[in-house]
Amino acid sequence: MRELVGDARVVAIGEGAHNITEFYELRDQLFRILVQELGFSAFVMESGFAEGLAVNAWIHGGPGQVGKVARDGITYRFGECEPMRRQLRWMRRQKVGFYGMDLPGSSTSPGPAVRAILDRIPGDEELLRLSDLGGRTEAAVRYAAMPVAERTRLLDGLRALVERASLVDDEIVRRCAASLQAFVEELDPPSAGPYPREVFMADTVKWVLEREERIVVSAHNAHVRRTPFLDRPMMGGLLASSLGADLVVIGMTYGSGPEVRFTQRSPRPFDCDVSLEERSLPPNCVESRLDRIGRPVAVVDLRRVPGDFFDGIDGTLAGGGIDPVDDFPAAYDALIHVRHATRIPGAFERLRAEFEESP
């Protein structure tokens, strides 16, 4: 790992699926090595920027219990597990910075970013009420069902707040405003080019680099890859164009183990059947090739693999399908493969309950 990282300022660690126990543990081990031996000073996560402010405050001595901090300050429910709590406790002892880089409210509610702005500048209490749409699934359903007049008031209010906040001499307010701008743009994204969410995450990583010397970035493999995904530039690609050799990208994959599947029941947001299947490996996925190495955990430096190693491989598994990857060494510097993976205890049950309880 020392040789692979070299002098890079950013190490982006991807994962082929969320809520995999071994991915949390491996990421934590790598992060500790990078902090203790190579001088890395911050962890940047696929989680809401606005919510992450409270996590960083806690790490630097703020009050509260780690369980509540992780639950409330890390979005997509990624903080609701012991491996994440363990990492945060270690970060607090080391005083290592934490940053979210993603849109507010698990990308479905602008409320947390609106609140973070209005906590710092006088604002519109009515907008705060309108923007607090609830939890992830509840927010998506509520927004979709909003009367046109109420939705227009919300969007107009968000745009006005973004314009006002962008003029304030407060870097946190301006970054929260940028997250709201990207949130609004994601509601009607462009038909080509990068998604606003990817642009915001890349810009936030650059923002963190103005404050930290060397950082670890954690997100799904699809976000950290350098090459486009389905012809769309991803966060990793947007960073690569400016960072060059200062960026190292490591993907994580697994062979056997549980895999979550979603089956859409209706056009309504989050109206899905959620099932837990046992993963099977088609021959054209990279996991089938990496499984042949035969180790419980294998680290593959893609700069050194034989030229024919990826012959017949179309991509990497994700959600029961294959995310296409045309050129693995261009997309990732290395892959870490876990031969057998396990789910975070309770994660699937929480996910299924969340979908079943959505309005």
Domain boundaries, the chain: 2-104+194-357, 105-193
Q: For 1-5, 232-236, 312-316, which range has the lowest pLDDT when averaged over its residues?
A: 1-5
pLDDT digit string (tens) for 81-113?
A: 999 999 999 999 999 999 999 999 999 999 999
Contact present, 71 and 55 (Cβ < 8 Å): no
The confidence score (pLDDT) of residue 356 equals: 81
Closest of 109, 120, 224, 227 to residue 174, by C-alpha: 120
The residue behind tokens 């031996």 is 37
State both tokens at 212: 């930290």
The confidence score (pLDDT) of residue 157 equals: 97
The confidence score (pLDDT) of residue 359 equals: 58
The confidence score (pLDDT) of residue 139 equals: 95
Tell me the average pLDDT across 102-131.
95
Annotation: CATH topology of 2-104+194-357: Rossmann fold (3.40.50)
Kindly indicate the confidence band of residue 358, based on its pLDDT and cuts at 50, 70 and 90: low
pLDDT exceeds cutoff 70 at 150: yes
The confidence score (pLDDT) of residue 295 equals: 96
Kindly indicate the confidence band of residue 355, based on its pLDDT and cuts at 50, 70 and 90: confident
pLDDT exceeds cutoff 90 at 307: no
Distances (CA, A) of 230 to 16, 260, 323, 346: 16, 22, 8, 32
